[in-house]
Chains A and B, each alone.
Chain A
Amino acid sequence: MKFTNQSKAGLLFALPWLIGFSVFLLYPLLRAFYNSFTEYTVLTPAVWIGTENYHALMKDKVFWQSLGNTFYYAIFAVPLSTIVAIGLALLLNTKVKGQAFYRTFFFLPALVPAVPMAILWLWLFNGEKGIVNYGIQVLNDHNWLFQVPKPNWLGDKTVAKNVLVIMSTWTVGHAMVIYLAGLQQVPLALYEAADLDGASPIRKTFKITLPMLSPVIMFNVIMSIITSFQIFTQPYIMFPGGAPERSTYFYSMYIYDAAFRDNNMGYASAMGWIMFLIIFILTFFARKYMDKKVHYEAN
């Protein structure tokens, strides 16, 4: 192939990324793959042990537990935060007066960095003095419809994970802004046509708005699957060691502990690669499924 001046310049301009990609992504990814077949600490060189790490993982209860917790989190957090984000965007898209203020209010929580967020949520969901349980108590004192239980949010192993799911619905600002921008791109002519047919607002939402928004939804859902599988900082700070009873012990926390607490780098690498494959497969199928759906509804 003959290199024109432009292709020389092009490669030269792309060089920082070609280096960055090779050194900080591709090399570590392949190195992790190799390491996953070795017994390896940072202090001693890697010793080839074949697929032993993977066999050991299959029998490791903590591995399955952390994987289960992570799936639980993703299965609830991804759809719930998507619904909340789209709901808020639809409300804001009605062009009410003060839209910019409401948008700012809904967006602010998404700006809170993970560490102060975790510390704040420990305080909000404190079982005795937390403001959340106080709110529930006030509702109960007024005999409002029915009595709501006051869970020990942080100490009850059946509830603790849900605190993180609720947190994911509080920080939907980015997605909301993207959906709002997507909504503003839906051609008005479609609504005018529907108005002529006398369609109700709900019908318009489900038959026009959401189908038109579906490519944006697809992109966001995929990104949110990828990030929710990596959840680390909030549970690491809120629930040391995945307390109570490892119910909040997530996959990334186990990788971190295996590598840097137990100094079992080969084992951690095997786990890392399994995570990579899971994300890869989920993304692949999410794309495939949603591509079909997006296409189908748009027609």
Chain B
Amino acid sequence: MAKRTRTLQQQNLVSVGILHIVLALLSIVFLIPLLWMIATSLSTEKVAGSFPPQFIPEPIVWKNYYTAFNYQSEQLGGVPPMLIYARNSLIVCILVVAGAVISNAIVAYSFARLKWPGRDVAFSITLATMMIPFPVLMVPLYAMYKDFGWIGTFRPLWIPAWFAGAFNIFLLRQFFRTIPLELSEAAKIDGCSEWGIFAKVILPLAKPALAVVALFSFMAAWNDFLAPLLYLQSQETFTLALGLQNFKGQAGGSPIHLQMAASTMVVAPVIILFFFTQRQFIQGIATSGLKG
């Protein structure tokens, strides 16, 4: 018996070893593109263009980031374009996050905890709106925003976020439903209004879920390319996504090592944010996909 256990353990050791080798190889495959982006961003133009490629560039040129940051500053009167793009992206992101958190919390509360005629039908329709592709809405939205005088401003990018959206409503509703109803009833007996219950009982408990909504809407606004492409016109209003495309494309293309430096600057904030919020992030994704 003892002998058999030992062989089983040995077998186990071998299979765990194989598993680690497979996982490590896969990790390399998934990480190499990002590492290669960073390597190129630290190369001289000559090293970046050399073949076979140098994985650890020699010399390492940190100045590329400075150069990419200030690239073609003369176009915006001496101010680094990347700085303007970053400011614009931040403005849009902050407005989107604020609007998404507030509006989705209110609406999800209604769907999760209040009874009203037609609620369940309305919720099914809400979920079904996730099927509507943005390209079909593109033309009428453009015409509508033109009538509002919103073209060329940030408004088309953030105002819709203040009117909730299917995905976030769904996510928060899932969470609100797990809060015991007794808490609401107790607050009601104490004379709380519906708004009071929402603001004083539910919201403080829902902080982790609201953080997830904030994170996801931040990422969506930061990454969005098509909407800024449609509605923004002058370079001073470009967000980072649009600005980066502009950076790449000018005058037959900017040099590759600078493209990689600029790209790294756009990717880095998202990855840093992820590392600080990893747990909420992963949990948020898991809940969004599980009870569909």
Contact = CB atoms under 8 A, between A and B. Distances in A.
Interface of A: 1, 3-14, 16-21, 23-25, 27-29, 31-32, 35, 42, 88, 91-92, 94, 96, 98, 101-109, 111-116, 119-121, 123-124, 128-129, 131, 134, 137, 170, 174-175, 177-178, 180-182, 185, 215-216, 218-220, 223, 226, 229-230, 232-233, 236-237, 251-252, 255-256, 259-260, 265, 268-269, 271-273, 275-276, 279-280, 283
Given A11-B116, A17-B164, A96-B23, A112 B34 contact: yes
Interface string B41-71: 0000000011111000000000000000000
Contacts of B235: none
Interface in B239-259: 241-242, 244-245, 248, 256, 259
Nearest to A137: B52
Given A20-B165, A103-B282, A120-B33, 5 more contacts: A9-B114, A42-B142, A114-B225, A230-B134, A272-B135
A131 B270 CA distance: 25
B30 A10 contact: no
B175 interface: no
A233 B226 contact: yes
Given A7-B115, A120-B33, A216 B289 contact: yes
B99 to A, nearest CB: 9
A220 B289 contact: yes
Contacts of A9: 110, 114, 194-195
Contacts of A251: 135
Interface in B210-227: 219, 222-223, 225-226
A5 B88 CA distance: 43
B43 to A, nearest CB: 12
A127 to B, nearest CB: 11
B223 A114 contact: yes
B33 to A, nearest CB: 6
Contacts of B244: 115-116, 119
